[in-house]
Every structure is written in C-alpha cells, then in structure tokens.
Amino acid sequence: MNLSAILGARVDGEAPWRQMVRMLVSVIACWVVGYFTELEESVWALITSLIVTQSTISQTITTARDQIVGTIIGALFGTAAVTLRLFYGHYWLVFAASLTPIAFIASVRPSLRFAGVTLMIIYLMPSHGNPYWPLTQRLASIFLGVVVSIIVSYLVLHASARRRAFTTASRMFRALDALLQAALAHRQDWAGLEAMNDQAAKLQLVLNECLEEANRENLGMLERRHPILSVLPALMRRMQSDTMLVARAINIGKGRSGMNDMRGELRHGLSHAYRALARRCELLSAGKGGEMPERPRRNEVLSHLPLLGPDALPEMHFVFSFLREDLRQAADILMSSSDKTADDLRRLMQR
C-alpha cells in the first residue's frame, strides 16, 4: 500500500450521518424541553444546539465554553444597554455604545464572538411588557441549548476515540514503513523523504486529538481504563523520530557497497516489524487485543531484522540500534497484558 493510499483513508472514523443524527437529536430535545417547560423563547435553544453540537466531544465542550463565556459577557452588556435605553432612550446610540467594546473583545479573542450575538438577541429582538423578562427567557434558552448539546455529544453516536486512535497508529506505522521502503529503494531524494515524514506527522496530530477526545470520553480516567492508549502518542512520536534518523542514515550511505548488499534484508526485516505492529494496533482498535492466536510476540516482530555488517556506516549502526530497541519497546507496550498500568508502560519506554 503506498503512502497516499494510507493517508487517503479516513482517520476520524466519523461518518457524516452520525453528526446529522446528533444535530437532529439536539434540536428535537431542546424543542421537547422548551415545550414542556413552557419556555417562551425556546427558539434560541434550538439555534444554540445547532451551533454547539459538534462532531466530537472535545469540539462540543470547546464550543460550549465559548458560547457560555460569550453569553455571559453579552448578557451583562445587554442588560446594561436595556437599562440605559429605559432611562435615556436613544435606541441606536445605546446599541452602538454597547456593541463597540464587544466588537473589540471579539477582535482580540475571536472565541468570544458569541457575546455580540447575545447582545443582539437581547437588545434587538422585539419584546413586550417587562423588558427584563424576555432577556431572562432568552438567556435560559441559550443555556438550555448548551446543556443539551453536551449531553447529546456524550450519549448519541459519538465515534470511539480509542478505536480511532489505534486505527490512526496503525496507519502511521504503515506510513513510516512506506517512508523507509522509499529510502532503501532510493525512490526519493531527501526532500521527498521529508515530505513523506510531514504527511506521517499529520497522523500524529490526529492521534493527539484522539487522546484528548478519549480523555473526555473516559471522564479523566483514561490511564486507568486504557493504559496503552494513554502512552500511544508518545510512543508514536518516538517511532517517527527513529524512522527519520534511520532514513537519514540510509540516504547518507547511498551507494556504499555495504549498504547496497544489505538493502534487501533491511527492507524485508523493517517492513515485517512495522507491519506486525500495525496489525497489532488494528487488533486493539477492533477490541481483539487479547486474542492470543493473532497476538505476535516480541521476538516474532523483531525476527527478520538483520544485523548490520562491518561495512555499514557507523552512523547507521548507531541509529539502527536505537530503532531496534524502540521497536522492541513498542512491541512490549502494544502487547502488554491488561494488568499493566500507565506508569508500568512509561517505565518500559524509559528503559
């Protein structure tokens, strides 16, 4: 499989219909709650739910936080604007005076743009009778939309971050394998290898996002529930760094007779190790990590790695020893039994 095919596959595990369902559930839930509580301005709850409900829990929490902070700021300015209008009139002058500082705040902190929206909802939307009563109703509706969106994000069809993380790690192993194979086959110059590394680094960013999402899903107890996942991003960063060091050494040794003689063994041995670890990640992603028949042992992962001959560059001996050791640690970590804790796995990485 080539690198473009590896990176072309979806890494977020998120089908569009899942987000569609979540948004519809959020809107319907807000309408139902607003109907039975006789919330007069419940339309703002529906609109808020459409804004806040995102494709991941982390994105929803971030948007909800921005919405709440912006709503509070907008409510303070909106209440002050309504009060000034009652005492002094000058409808548009008061609005302009209230909007100006909010516009400045939003320009400094774009995440607080919701403050201006709240001000407009409070001040510009028509109301009758006591001017503070619609204000209260509208704010209650906005907070209802935020709360419902968070609950829906946790409970309705969110993609498992754990599954996505191990799937991403598998694709990253395969991308790094493709990078080394390109280096050993001399299919790419150094600039091309760096470009391939940049593409693999994008998977590392996705993996970091998966870890954050998994922490949200597990309510801060990720290390206890899924210790392997908690150390996975650090493990993959190390593997990426080692891979590029070896690729650099291969590129420097291009044309050396010792390297040319060993290229076939290196290609086969390294590809076997990376593919075995990728397969292990796929099993963990599918929840089959404990199935012994398909669980490669450490020695099997490393069994085809050759010993470098005396003609290989000293730099190659040096970086390859690091890679061999980190492949051994990666196998130990990814094949760890369920009784291992996150601290145990970190100690494995530090040996």
**Residue 140, token pair as written in the block:** 């209650």
Q: Which of 18, 61, 327 is nearest to 164 (CA)?
A: 18
**Residue 40, token pair as written in the block:** 């007069």
Please give the Cα distance from 85 to 77 (Å, whole number).
12
As to burial, measured by CB atoms within 10 angstroms (0-12 exposed, 13-18 middle, 19+ buried), residue 220 is: exposed
User: Which pLDDT value is given to residue 5?
Assistant: 46
Compute the CA torsion angle 222, 227, 233, 239 (nearest 10 deg): 180
Indicate the residue type of 170.
Answer: S
List the chain pLDDT tens, one digit each, 351 residues: 455 444 444 444 456 888 899 999 999 999 999 999 998 889 999 999 999 999 888 889 999 999 999 999 999 999 999 999 988 888 999 999 999 999 999 999 998 989 999 999 989 987 777 888 888 898 999 999 999 999 998 888 877 888 999 999 999 999 999 999 999 888 888 899 999 999 999 999 999 999 998 988 888 888 888 899 999 999 999 999 999 999 988 888 676 655 566 677 888 999 999 999 999 999 998 876 655 444 556 678 888 888 776 777 777 878 888 898 889 999 989 988 767 787 888 877 776
Classify residue 13 as left (phi > 0), alpha (psi -120 to 50) or beta: left
Q: Which of 298, 299, 281 is nearest to 236 (CA)?
A: 281
Q: Which of 165, 180, 177, 241 is nearest to 1 (CA)?
A: 177
What would the pLDDT profile of 204-245 be if each residue is shown by its tens digit?
999 999 999 898 888 888 888 889 999 999 999 999 999 999
**Residue 219, token pair as written in the block:** 């309510």
**Residue 54, token pair as written in the block:** 């995102």
What one-character DSSP code corresponds to residue 313?
Answer: -
8 Å CB contact between 105 and 112: yes
